């Protein structure tokens, strides 16, 4: 290896004594630990069973609100399975043919999750609007059935939330699961209230109205998931990482004359990678320098997988990737 080109590849998984990975001001996300596999399995099973019950009784009671909530809870099942799958994939090692491992699968899974949810929202909206236009006859919606099934949903979502309550302070993904399930318990409570109003007043039209509200809530939460998934799939700089600050940090390093071919992208939903060329004249091979830079990238920006190429900037052998327009 010549002094002109020094390649250094680092993949830092440094953790403190408590086993927590250090991230940049909360930017660094954690994969759920193996200890929560049981919670994910039981939570997914409970919610899957409840989805089936909501579909069956929603059809029997002619309740679009129950069917809407079933679609919402199906999203919960997919979300729990996705988080569980991501945790499992995160524990797998790279192979000779998959040198980055399987982390990218979590991005594709989240994108699929978002698309499925949006299709469900479309179906719910069409049916609810149809029923509003054609009119819903009094007694057509079984208010009592809606109340009972949705009340079961409060219990299912509440119990599932409790599964993750213990670990919500130590792991961001577990905290996300806890908050999501707790919020869904509140949505089910809203369906109970609508069922009670229908039972007491006979306002059957309230059912499609509530289903539209639930569909709007799903759309609101899913739109962010879809946008984030697409951004990750298209290698956008991950949220929480300021590319301009990373560029400025590298350019301010001792002896650095120029930084080019800088790329920052997600390896998975939890891992961030970086490559860059650093022009450092007459520096020679300096492993300590590169290791220091890699450590700082991890500590300040949460970038745990850095590959740096140090160049002397010889004009006779100028780097063909120096232009910012070249990928």
**pLDDT attached to residue 309:** 92
**pLDDT attached to residue 136:** 62
309 SS3 class: strand
């250090």: which residue's tokens? 22
Within a 10 A sphere around the Cβ of 92, how many other Cβ atoms? 12
The distance from CA 143 to its chain's CA centroid, rounded to whole angstroms, is 36
State residue 296 phi and psi, 5-degree precision: -65, -35
Sign of CA dihedral 99, 100, 106, 108: negative
């919402």: which residue's tokens? 72
pLDDT digit string (tens) for the chain, length 327 residues: 444 445 545 444 433 333 333 333 344 444 444 567 788 888 889 989 988 988 888 888 877 767 877 877 787 788 788 777 776 776 788 888 888 887 777 777 777 777 877 887 787 788 778 878 877 655 555 667 778 888 888 898 888 888 877 755 545 456 666 766 776 777 777 778 877 887 788 787 887 888 788 778 878 877 877 888 888 888 999 888 999 999 999 999 998 999 999 999 988 777 899 999 999 987 766 889 999 999 999 999 999 899 999 988 776 567 777 776 666
CB 215 within 8 A of CB 125: yes
Among the CATH numbers 1.25.40, 1.20.120, 2.60.40, 1.20.1510, which is that of 34-233?
Answer: 1.20.1510
124 SS3 class: helix
Please state the domain extents for the chain.
5-16+238-317, 34-233
Tokens of 116: 């499925």
* Per CATH, domain 5-16+238-317 is 3.30.70.1350: yes
Tokens of 290: 């590169």
Within a 10 A sphere around the Cβ of 327, how many other Cβ atoms? 7
288 contact partners, CB below 8 Å, separation of at least 6 = none
Terminal-to-terminal C-alpha distance of the chain: 24
């Amino acid at each position: 290896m010549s002094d002109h080109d020094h390649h250094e590849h680092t993949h830092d998984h440094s953790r403190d004594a408590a086993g927590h990975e250090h991230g940049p001001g909360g930017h660094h996300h954690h994969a759920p630990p193996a200890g929560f596999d049981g919670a994910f399995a039981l939570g997914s099973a409970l919610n899957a069973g409840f989805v089936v019950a909501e579909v069956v009784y929603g059809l029997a009671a002619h309740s679009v609100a129950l069917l809407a909530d079933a679609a919402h809870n199906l999203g919960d099942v997919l979300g729990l399975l996705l988080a569980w799958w991501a945790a499992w994939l995160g524990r797998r090692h790279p192979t000779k043919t998959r040198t980055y491992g399987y982390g990218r699968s979590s991005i594709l899974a989240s994108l699929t999750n978002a698309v499925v949810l949006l299709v469900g929202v479309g179906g719910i909206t069409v049916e609810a609007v149809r029923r509003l236009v054609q009119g819903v006859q009094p007694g057509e919606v079984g208010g009592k059935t809606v109340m009972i099934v949705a009340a079961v949903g409060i219990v299912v979502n509440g119990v599932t939330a409790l599964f993750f309550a213990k670990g919500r302070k130590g792991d961001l993904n577990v905290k996300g699961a806890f908050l999501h399930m707790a919020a869904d318990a509140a949505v089910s409570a809203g369906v109970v209230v609508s069922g009670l109003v229908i039972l007491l007043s006979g306002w059957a039209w309230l059912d499609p109205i509530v289903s539209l509200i639930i569909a709007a809530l799903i759309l609101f939460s899913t739109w962010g998931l879809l946008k984030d998934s697409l951004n990750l799939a298209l290698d956008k700089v991950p949220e929480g990482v300021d590319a301009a600050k990373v560029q400025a940090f590298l350019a301010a390093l001792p002896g650095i004359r120029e930084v080019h071919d800088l790329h920052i992208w997600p390896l998975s939903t939890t891992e961030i990678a970086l490559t860059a060329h650093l022009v450092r004249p007459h520096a020679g091979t300096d492993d300590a320098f590169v290791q220091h830079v890699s450590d700082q990238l991890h500590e300040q920006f949460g970038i745990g997988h850095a590959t740096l190429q140090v160049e002397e900037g010889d004009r006779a052998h100028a780097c063909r990737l120096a232009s910012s327009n070249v990928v």
